[in-house]
Amino acid sequence: MSFGGPQWPQEPQQQGQQPFPQPFQQPNSFPPPQPQQPFGSQTPDWGALADASAARHRRKRWLLVGGGALATAAIAAIVATAVVSSNSSPGTGAQDKNGTTVATDTALPSDTTQPQPSFSSVAPPPPPNPRDFIATDKKDRAPLSADSLFPGKKLTMNGRVYAKGATSSTTNCASVTQGALGGVLKRNGCDRVIRATYEKDGVAITVGVAVFPTEAQALKAKEQTSGGIAPLAGAGVDEFCRATVCLRRANSLGRYAYFTQAGFTNGKKVTTGDKAVFNTSDDLAAFTFNQIWARGRAQASAAATAPAA
């Protein structure tokens, strides 16, 4: 009988040899002797033959039962070993009473001292404010000239193109003013006045930028304004705003106060209905404001990207 495979192998028989006895077979087990028949009698002893046959059947039956029991025991041992091996592999954890695998300490990380990511609780400083750099001469250190404030040969604002005329720069602030403006600039500590003239279709305008040490001084000069900036002719622009009525305006940004005077180059008086003169004054005032603010923005940007001291 076989279980799950071929029969147990037998030893090969060599010529002239007897086969090996089978397992559990007793070689000297013979049936007990029986009474002999009279000599010469040819009648077989049927009773003895029957007893011998019964004994052989009994031995065969016990051999089969014993072999099956041994095979069953071997298979049970193999299955039990496989179950134990699958449920108790090292390092995977123990089992509770219900057979559920429970994680042990070996499943936890052994090194808990590794550095963890951290974030600064300090908020970054806000970006520099451009106004801070044009509020005082201690921070407003960028180069300043007529060409830096009024670059190029012409100016386009709101679709209107203006040709640039003469420019000038002086530290004698009162010398380039009309009326009481010179005294106002001097009293408030004016350091310098930069002028530029633009012209379009017979309308000319001069912009004068007065530079002060602080924002407070420039603001006071604007509030006290009287008179105006002197018009600057030349470089293709004829005389204007002489012994006639022109449009004067004043404003300030940071430590800069700026003044405009606009009128006709033919000497015509300016009235409230002269839209071209008012447009010219608005355009040049906006351009000057933008140029001063650009100074502050450029210096703030440079400070933001400068390496720490």
Higher-confidence position of 94 and 117 = 117
Which pLDDT does position 60 carry in this prediction? 58
The letter for the amino acid at 87 is: N
Domains of the chain from N-terminus onward: 22-36+46-86 (no CATH), 130-305 (3.40.1000)
**DSSP letters of 54-94?**
HHHHHHHHHHHHHHHHHHHHHHHHHHHHHHHHHH--TTS-E
Averaged over 127-134, what is the pLDDT?
91
Question: pLDDT (tens digit, 9 = 90+) per residue, 73-102?
Answer: 555 555 445 444 445 444 445 555 555 555
Question: pLDDT (tens digit, 9 = 90+) per residue, 289-299?
Answer: 999 999 999 99
Measuring CA to CA, which residue among 168, 130, 162 is closest to residue 284?
162
Averaged over 110-135, what is the pLDDT?
74
pLDDT band at 224 (very low <50, low <70, confident <90, very high): very high
Residues linked to residue 155 through DSSP beta bridges, in sequence order: 162
Which pLDDT does position 76 carry in this prediction? 53
Contact 154, 284 (CB under 8 A): no
User: Can you tell me the distance from the alpha carbon of 176 to that of 198, in angstroms, rounded to the nearest whole number?
Assistant: 17
Higher-confidence position of 42 and 211 = 211
The bridge status of strand 192-200 relative to strand 203-211 is antiparallel
Residues linked to residue 194 through DSSP beta bridges, in sequence order: 169, 209
Question: Which residues does 54 contact at the CB level (< 8 Å), separation at least 6?
Answer: none
Per-residue pLDDT at 148 exceeds 90? yes
Higher-confidence position of 156 and 93 = 156
User: Can you tell me the distance from the alpha carbon of 29 to that of 142, in angstroms, rounded to the nearest whole number?
Assistant: 127
Per-residue pLDDT at 8 exceeds 50? no
User: Can you tell me the distance from the alpha carbon of 309 to that of 301, in angstroms, rounded to the nearest whole number?
Assistant: 16
Per-residue pLDDT at 194 exceeds 60? yes
User: Can you tell me the distance from the alpha carbon of 186 to that of 170, in angstroms, rounded to the nearest whole number?
Assistant: 13
Q: What's the chain's average pLDDT?
A: 77
Higher-confidence position of 65 and 146 = 146
Task: Give percent of the chain above pLDDT 90.
Answer: 56
Contact 199, 162 (CB under 8 A): yes
